[in-house]
Amino acid sequence: MSDVTYILVTGGVGYIGSHIVVELVNAGYTPVIIDIFANAVKATDNGRPVVIERMEKIVDKQLIYHDIDILNKSALDDLFAKYSFYAVIHLAGLKAMRESINMPIEFYKVNVFGTLNIVECMKEHGVNNLMFSSSGSVYGTPQYLPIDEKHAVGGCLTPYGKSKYFIEEILRDVSKAEKNWNIILFRYFNPVGSHKSGLIGEDPRATNLMSYVAQVAIGRKPHLSVFGGDYDTHDGTGVRDYVHVVDLALGHIAALKQFTTKGGLKIYNLGSGKECSVLDMVRGMEKASGKKIPYKIVDRKDGDVGSSYSDATLIQTELGWKPEKNYEEMFEDLWRWQKNNPEGYETANSI
């Protein structure tokens, strides 16, 4: 590795992006963050995003960041002209699955067109190494379990999932046409937890299970609504695959070594490969927090499936990555973040 190896991280102040940036620095890379800072409130005296200062505290190093929208092709061109990027980790985009049902045009515009802008800039500036944050939602309703990378894709249940699937197809075509490109598609399952420091974590306004659970534990929500209690699972509630966000971030570090082999497209599930129900997650958070988490069983949501979890064998075999953190650490780290930052970065202070 040269003295400075620049890695562009789009969406680098988001939940997953911030943890990837920290691990990139720890591994000796120099991340260049772009984001629109929608969830990283500029609350410091000098107007800098709190999340940037939090990350800098963790890595004890000043970070490079730019306020750039991936829909702004001109600004992206200027950025690519300024830095000689070794690789791009593309995370930026809209991600709320339920919201995408009501806002499909916006999701397709940001996620698909934004990715096309990134890919065009990469081609124009001779950058051929790309990691894309796809999603386990591209598999749709599981045809078998656990889900491996050979499972059929495209039967997506939301516009969010479809946008990820469409981008995957675009990148497949790019790989076929551009033989010198290295592309890795990571199909994320459900990241949970936070950095051990409790300085960075997920915005509590996120519309996923554990954000709600944590908000109930801290007393900001009265109870959790559990959608469906009659699935064919061990306790009747939905079963999913959860992975610690730091483990997920480390998967990207392992994958950077893959780019030493020139050419081709690889697909990896990034999950724990373990199945855990909604009520299992509630009980785990109760233990970590010492708080009772009230819940109510309500009707299923349209499009939800009873069980969905990954086979993560391929990434373990080819990249030597496997989850290192157990579920207990996941809950403890999430609770530390939630307890110290009940409103996330919204009212957070400088460190």
Q: What are the residue numbers of the active site?
A: 160
Q: How far is the CA of 12 from the CAs of 51, 105, 126, 256, in angstroms?
A: 10, 24, 22, 17
- Kindly compute the dihedral angle of the four CA atoms of residues 76, 68, 64, 264, in this order, to the nearest 10 degrees: -50
Q: How far is the CA of 93 from the CAs of 111, 130, 132, 252, 256, in angstroms?
A: 5, 16, 11, 18, 22
In contact, 104 and 51? CB cutoff 8 Å? no
Tokens of 173: 């075509």
Tokens of 221: 């929500």
Q: Which residues contact 1 (CB under 8 A, 6 or more apart)?
A: 28, 29
Distance CA 111, CA 281 (A): 30
Distance CA 133, CA 59 (A): 23
Nearest-CA neighbor of 307 among 276, 268, 333? 276
Distance CA 310, CA 139 (A): 10
Angle between helices 15-26 and 245-256 (to 10 degrees): 50
